[in-house]
Amino acid sequence: MDLREYLQQRGLTLDPTSIDKEFILTDEKLLEELALMWEEHQNAIKALLQSRVNSIAIRILNSNNIGIEGTIKQDALVEIGAIIQDFQKYSAELARRKKGEENGNKDNTTKEPPVIPEGEEGSL
């Protein structure tokens, strides 16, 4: 089984255009699901991600070949850590939108700038 098949069996793809930050930010239901998941289950999410970080870290420590394989594993650790940041940003964005609704803004905006910065490594 190759990587593509492995991911497809888990409902994932190697297509970077399938879901991106703009899709999540424009799909209100998905944004709310992610934000609520974080608010209600952040300890479980962190524990799950920590177990994956530990697994990769052990492989790095046990590897004699630090070269490109080690760099790729380190990049994977950064991306796993960025998932927590993504959850936090989506949760903050939903809160910002709800605050805009409470203030009577039809377009769900507040005077505050968006909380989701562009262009950061591992960012949304």
Structural tokens at position 43: 């300890």
Residue 95 neighbours by CB under 8 Å, 6+ apart: 35
Q: How many domains does the chain have?
A: 1
Whole-number pLDDT of residue 43: 96
Is there a domain that residue 60 lies in? yes
User: For residue 27, which amino acid is it?
Assistant: D
pLDDT in tens, 48-98: 999 999 998 888 888 776 778 788 888 999 999 999 999 999 999 999 999
Burial 97-119 (b: 16+ CB within 10 A, else e): beebeeeeeeeeebeeeeebeee
User: For residue 37, which amino acid is it?
Assistant: M
pLDDT in tens, 10-30: 998 888 788 888 888 899 999
Range of the domain at 40: 31-102
Is there a domain that residue 53 lies in? yes
